[in-house]
Amino acid sequence: MNQDFSFDPISVGFRVIPAIDLLDGCAVRLWQGGYDSASQVAPDPVEAARRFRDAGIRRLHVVDLSGAREGTLVHLDVIARIVKEVGISVQVGGGVRTAHDVEQLFDAGVSEAILGTVALEDPERAAALIERWPGRLFVGLDARGDTVALRGWLKDADESLYDAALRVAQLPVAGIIYTDISRDGTGRGPNIENTAALARLVQPTPTIASGGIGNEGHVLDLWNARDEGIHGVIVGKAIYDGVVDLDKMVSKYHRKENP
């Protein structure tokens, strides 16, 4: 198994990271974060992960959507199977709010955990977790404009996006994963301006973009902004819909070739 237990943007370069979102045991995609918009993209998440691995992917982004809604990990068994049977690095978010949650994921072989709600609702607890596992915890900041969403995107935070990002960047995080909810699942393209502004603000903390990828040109747009501090992009629906050629993405970006 690949024991890549820290996200090192210097060594790995810009990365295209496929997403697997788990809801009721299946891989799904949402439209702008709405649970009632969920559509199944793969009945067997482990098999989906295996296909990504076979295309040359070495890192997956997995979100336990049920866990994000319930406030505790729901799909730990599925996540453990992905790690064990597929053998690539996996970062996991959704319902990760306590030290016990983090320990369960790391015991299952997960490379990095992603803190979301707890980072906004209980900053002291989140800071303690990040200090305990330096370089192994991302913070996910999912926002509509400057408003950060919590609890599976069902509640708004009091702290603004940029204030939260600045606070988090003072801690030894693996990086910040920024999602523009208004773009998520739409294919309209990522919010390059906001992503680049956030990345500049928190440098040298790595920023990973998420939400809105609808074609290979959108990935190239983010790649071209990598000097702003954008170290990768998470892609979901565009891969499942076949509008992004994963083999081509691996060839271009994971070998650090100039597209």
Q: How far apart are CA 212 and CA 214, in angstroms?
A: 6
Contact 183, 151 (CB under 8 A): no
Contact 129, 104 (CB under 8 A): no
Q: How far apart are CA 160 and CA 19, in angstroms?
A: 26
- 142: annotated active-site residue: yes
- Catalytic site residue from 44, 54, 122, 142: 142
Active site residues: 21, 142
